[in-house]
Chain A
Amino acid sequence: MNSWYLVVLIFLPVVGALVLAAMSGAPEKTVKLIALVFSLAELAVVVALWVSYRAATTDAASQLDVPFRETFSVTWIPYFGINFSLGVDGISLTMIALIAVLMPIVLGASWEEKLPAGRTIGGYFALLLVLQGAMVGVFAATNVFVFYVMFEVMLIPMYFLVGAFGGVRRAYAATKFFLYSLLGGLLMLASVIGLYVASGQVLGQGTFDWVTLQSIAAQIPESTQMWIFAGFAIAFAIKAPLVPLHTWLPDAGTEAPVGAGTLLVGVLDKVGTFGFLRICLPLLPAASSKLAWLIILLAVIGILYGAIVAAGQTDLKRFVTFTSIAHFGFIALGVFAFTTQSIAGAALYMVNHGIATGLLFLIVGMLTARGGSKLVGDYGGVWKVAPILGGFFLVAALATIAMPGTNSFISEFLVLIGTFSRHPAWAVLATIGIVLAAVYMLWIFQRTMTGPVRGAAVVGGRGPEDRLADGTEGGAVGGTGEHGDVAPALTPLPVGAAAVGGQPHAAGAAAHAEPGGHGARTKVKALFGDLNAREITVLTPLVLLVILLGVYPQPVLDVINPTAERTMVDAGYTDPVPAIDAPLGGGQ
């Protein structure tokens, strides 16, 4: 019995994109509304899917008996035995839900995005919708070939999103991203074919079907598994990204427009760690256990390296990408620690990271759009100027640090506890990452938000040598991104302050900067205002999720835990026995 939820979830956004493409002459407002309607429809379908999934997995027995629910399968290429088969388990369901929740928020945040010359918002939103369809496809695939196809297809809309709608160095960043991911993808193709050939040697007829491959996973010889694992691991390590294969992310994340960048760090990268969970652990158990030490090593290096480099960043968007690299180290660590808690924690971390970093990225985007500068040094005391923005930033910062009460804390805690029971030393090293996270995050927060109102982006007042070529004050000037020879210290973004609602003070206003060092009583006139209603509406759901999932994560964990247990069984691991018996009845 084919369930149609997943097919709808994949193709509804694509239909939406086609509708947008067909309406390229329509007024902008209509185009944007149609895109929003499609994304909200997608969200509604996901809610229905969630309800249906939970209804089918109410009791403990039913949770483990089938690997996938809401399955769909049609014959696609019988020559290779490839079926277009889809299905969800707990982890992929939560990821699909994350995508569906993020998309309307991303569309809303990009509503007034100022795009490079010649580009339309309709094209931008259409590409975002296509990306959504492809991303859902990756998480819903239960056939390794379909997984690969969606994995590669995902690259194309993201490439055009970065390359056509991004910042100054967008062509370079987009090409680097595409080629890096393509190389990983091609090595993964070699491994996919290797799986097919290996399964052919075991079964007589090769297959790409996940369930079949999992059932014969133990019969594939270990040396073959190692080679196949290598191909997959490189591809997923590039995607995740794990140090040292991470260099594409800072460039792509910085140059991407805010909406695409949020999806890039919020969802696209999760495909890497999801691939580890879905493909490497169950289908290549022997190789996974043999090479787990390598992934754990790279993960811990990533946690520490990402944090240290993030602390030294002067570009706000680049800073966010490096915090991502640090967090992905935690996720990869959780996956390869091979305990139920760590795997559940890693899966939950994927969701929580998407929410928290999505929130952070959007706020940074809003801040830089107002200030016209991406540099940390150009901001100071923004809390006094834009208190609502500062408040949201505080929530995002605390979520990034994994403060208890925020969603990231639960997942990080689970990962560390799970890792500690099997690899105590690595867990201790990883915990240092939490301290470093506090260092970089609070430091950035302090420099940009607290203290006296200062900074070229906030109050203007640059010296004559810093003026732009057109003689205006730096900062909130619109459309200057196309001028090539801007002084590197400014890197203004092509966004007009007038496009930002609230109380904009006119561009180039006589913003006499009285830095706090001088008369502290002087009222400083800022160049931009606080968040407008649209931006608050867009950010509020994320903040609510951060707090709700931080206080009561059980609904999500209820979906994830059975799948984590099943993955443990498939990978052939049992949880390590605790050294001390837990007292029965709650202790004396």
Chain B
Amino acid sequence: MTVLQTAAVQSAAAFAQAPTDPINAPTISFSLTAPVLIALGGAILGILFEALLPRRVRYPVQVVLALLTVAAALVWTLLGANRGDVGVTFGGALAVDTATYVMWGVLLVLALPSLLLMADKVSEPGGSFVAQAAARIGSHRDRLATRVSAPMQTEVFPLALFAVAGMMIFPAATDMVTLFVALEVLSLPLYLLCGLARRRRLISQESAVKYFLLGAFTSAIFAYGLAMLYGYCGSTQFAAVAAQARAGDSSDVLLLGGLALVIVGLLFKASVGPFHLWTPDVYQGAPTPVTAFMAACTKVAAFAAMLRVCLVALEPMTWTWQPVLAIIAGASMVIGSVIGITQTDMKRMLAYSSVAHAGFILLGVISMSEAGASATMFYLLTYGMATIGAFAILTVVRKGDGEASHVGDWAGMAKRSPVLAASMSLFLLSFAGIPLTAGFIGKLSVFTAAMQAGLGPWVVLAMIATAITAFFYLRIVVVMYFADPVTTSPTPAPVAVAAGGGQPSAAVGERRFLAAGAGAPDAPFVVVPGLLTVIVIAVAVIVTLGLGLFPGPVLDLLTIPVPLLS
């Protein structure tokens, strides 16, 4: 035999004798992760329907599919939590424990009204979303796409479902790669959704580009941090990071560097200052239902993921990073409250207030206790509900053919529509933390947990920041109740271009006014909200009042026992 043949026979014999490593099939529990699978399945079905169904039936089918999907996921979550099924599944990538059920529950409860708001076609005639986003602004195709008679883009519903699915995976991930994938899955649809506004297309597209660019950079930073953590402990599991940190025999540089970069990525998503620079522009430019969705649900996902990362992966290093994050939380509170004072646009003002609230919530996260985790989720629930309600009311205050988001346009609203003004005041009081609203109980929980964790001075700073935010919340209440209604608007109204170039009012068809205060063509007015928006506002009011007066059952429901599964 030749040398080659001998070598081949020898290696084959050696190979036959060497023990074969068994292939470990990952454990996959479909029943534990069913809510996520339902959401993903609904999204995929939505894409299929979008491709196959005739245009007429797309809207009702998509809306029903989206709502049913979220409802089914919510029901499964409640059942699973009731049964107490817990476990780590998908080969150690997803951990489904009580904390996960709580996070999924809050997320889905907030996703439902967001979807209802997206589906509303009455406030913005024809729907809040443009028919064709890819048309160049100003071109003929764009004018066709933004006509009132052009139906809204119904692909937004599967996109939103993909985002929801990503948001569900994000806090359940116990593996760094899964975390990163979830971050991308939840972000990419949101980038798209921001650019789909029917009115003010230019800033809508600008907000989408800004969000995309900043988000892409931050994802890269996040991935770099994950890589450093992998280099630190040799595994992508959170538990491995914690174990290695406890053992303490590796260089801390990789750990601290990776920790910092990962946290920055999460803080960006949660719009915590000073990583908040995308928030005002994106909130202002995106269609209002998408803003509501982002403000409520993205925050839940980001803070929930932060909870898991901090409580599982970074827990041994608490003494190192807790003061730093406390300072960041303080910075966020101050930035949000102080810069919010100067805002004159309602959406930007709510964006800066969300930055301040992110600072408060971060205090709950870094308390690193059962009380802190539970308080964080409760605060997110109450804040999310009030935010969705506030943005829902924003959609019905209009001038010309677009929204009237300048504060001056809201003058005297209490005389024209007292119920809406009262609801808005309730939401603003909840943001300000006035007792008997849900926001107050949220603040109480978070600040109690923070104080128990020894963050007393930061709680005092949070109180001062709350008082500052109360100033601009109060200004809106003053404008609504004590100012006289305006007949001309401080800013020019967006004008819809009709297909035939006729008068905007004629092209819109019938519009119902609550009050004939529209003297001049660009006077702000309040439309009668459609059924879906009414449902959203009503639910938000009930939750805000109910959780303010009787928060006990929900507080118990949202209790998260630590330690979390990993």
A binds B: yes
What residues of chain A have their CB less than 8 Å away from a CB belonging to chain B? 76-80, 118, 148-149, 152-153, 155-156, 160, 163-164, 170-171, 174-175, 178-179, 182-183, 186-187, 189-190, 193-194, 196-197, 200, 206, 227, 231
Is B338 part of the contact surface with A, judged by Cβ < 8 Å? no
Query: Could you tell me if A179 and B448 are in contact, using CB atoms closer than 8 angstroms?
Result: no
Query: Could you tell me if B444 and A197 are in contact, using CB atoms closer than 8 angstroms?
Result: no
Kindly state the separation between the CA atoms of A227 and B457 in the bound complex, as whole angstroms.
10
Kindly state the separation between the CA atoms of A50 and B551 in the bound complex, as whole angstroms.
34
Kindly state the separation between the CA atoms of A231 and B457 in the bound complex, as whole angstroms.
12
Complex partner residue of B555 from A79, A183, A200, CB under 8 angstroms: A79
Is B478 part of the contact surface with A, judged by Cβ < 8 Å? yes
Query: Could you tell me if A193 and B467 are in contact, using CB atoms closer than 8 angstroms?
Result: no
Least CB separation from A166: chain B residue = B482
Assess A193 versus B464: contact at CB under 8 Å? Given A79-B552, A163-B481: no
Query: Could you tell me if B551 and A79 are in contact, using CB atoms closer than 8 angstroms?
Result: yes
Residue-wise interface mask of B (434-452) relative to A, using a CB-CB cutoff of 8 A (1 in contact, 0 not): 1110000101100110011
Chain A proximity of B443: nearest CB distance (Å): 8
Q: Name 30 interchain pairs, CB-CB below 8 A, sorted by A.
A: A76-B552, A78-B552, A79-B552, A79-B556, A149-B436, A152-B435, A153-B434, A156-B429, A163-B478, A163-B481, A163-B482, A164-B482, A170-B482, A174-B478, A179-B471, A182-B432, A182-B434, A182-B467, A186-B463, A186-B467, A187-B460, A187-B463, A187-B464, A189-B443, A190-B447, A193-B451, A196-B448, A196-B451, A197-B448, A197-B452
Query: Could you tell me if A182 and B470 are in contact, using CB atoms closer than 8 angstroms?
Result: yes
Which residues from chain A contact B451 at a C-beta distance below 8 Å?
190, 193-194, 196-197
Which residues from chain A contact B436 at a C-beta distance below 8 Å?
149, 153
Least CB separation from B452: chain A residue = A197
Least CB separation from B467: chain A residue = A183
Assess A80 versus B467: contact at CB under 8 Å? Given A148-B435, A149-B436, A164-B481: no
Kindly state the separation between the CA atoms of A156 and B415 in the bound complex, as whole angstroms.
19
Which residues from chain B contact A178 at a C-beta distance below 8 Å?
474
Query: Could you tell me if B474 and A179 are in contact, using CB atoms closer than 8 angstroms?
Result: yes
Which residues from chain A contact B423 at a C-beta distance below 8 Å?
none
Residue-wise interface mask of B (457-474) relative to A, using a CB-CB cutoff of 8 A (1 in contact, 0 not): 001100110110011001
Query: Could you tell me if A193 and B435 are in contact, using CB atoms closer than 8 angstroms?
Result: no
Kindly state the separation between the CA atoms of A95 and B443 in the bound complex, as whole angstroms.
31
Which residues from chain B contact A200 at a C-beta distance below 8 Å?
452
Query: Could you tell me if B435 and A153 are in contact, using CB atoms closer than 8 angstroms?
Result: yes
Kindly state the separation between the CA atoms of A155 and B470 in the bound complex, as whole angstroms.
13
Chain A proximity of B565: nearest CB distance (Å): 24
Least CB separation from B460: chain A residue = A190
Kindly state the separation between the CA atoms of A153 and B436 in the bound complex, as whole angstroms.
8
Kindly state the separation between the CA atoms of A432 and B452 in the bound complex, as whole angstroms.
47
Is B433 part of the contact surface with A, judged by Cβ < 8 Å? yes
For chain B, residues 542 to 566, give those with C-beta under 8 angstroms from any C-beta of chain A. 550-552, 555-556
Chain A proximity of B308: nearest CB distance (Å): 23
Is B456 part of the contact surface with A, judged by Cβ < 8 Å? yes
Of B435, B447, B464, B556, most buried by chain A (CB within 10 Å of CB) is B435
Chain A proximity of B338: nearest CB distance (Å): 15
Kindly state the separation between the CA atoms of A189 and B452 in the bound complex, as whole angstroms.
14
Least CB separation from B479: chain A residue = A171
Which residues from chain B contact A182 at a C-beta distance below 8 Å?
432, 434, 467, 470
Least CB separation from A156: chain B residue = B434
Query: Could you tell me if A118 and B415 are in contact, using CB atoms closer than 8 angstroms?
Result: yes
Least CB separation from A189: chain B residue = B463
Query: Could you tell me if B435 and A183 are in contact, using CB atoms closer than 8 angstroms?
Result: no
Least CB separation from B443: chain A residue = A189
Least CB separation from B459: chain A residue = A190
Kindly state the separation between the CA atoms of A193 and B363 in the bound complex, as whole angstroms.
15
Which residues from chain B contact A164 at a C-beta distance below 8 Å?
481-482
Which residues from chain A contact B452 at a C-beta distance below 8 Å?
197, 200
Which residues from chain B contact A196 at a C-beta distance below 8 Å?
448, 451
Query: Could you tell me if B447 and A179 are in contact, using CB atoms closer than 8 angstroms?
Result: no
Chain A proximity of B526: nearest CB distance (Å): 18
Least CB separation from B556: chain A residue = A79
Of A78, A160, A197, A200, most buried by chain B (CB within 10 Å of CB) is A197
Kindly state the separation between the CA atoms of A225 and B415 in the bound complex, as whole angstroms.
48
Assess A179 versus B470: contact at CB under 8 Å? Given A186-B464, A190-B459: yes
Complex partner residue of B459 from A79, A118, A148, A193, CB under 8 angstroms: A193
Query: Could you tell me if A193 and B552 are in contact, using CB atoms closer than 8 angstroms?
Result: no
Chain A proximity of B379: nearest CB distance (Å): 14
Chain A proximity of B414: nearest CB distance (Å): 9
Which residues from chain A contact B555 at a C-beta distance below 8 Å?
77, 79
Assess A80 versus B448: contact at CB under 8 Å? Given A152-B434, A175-B474, A190-B459: yes
Assess A80 versus B474: contact at CB under 8 Å? Given A149-B436, A183-B467: no
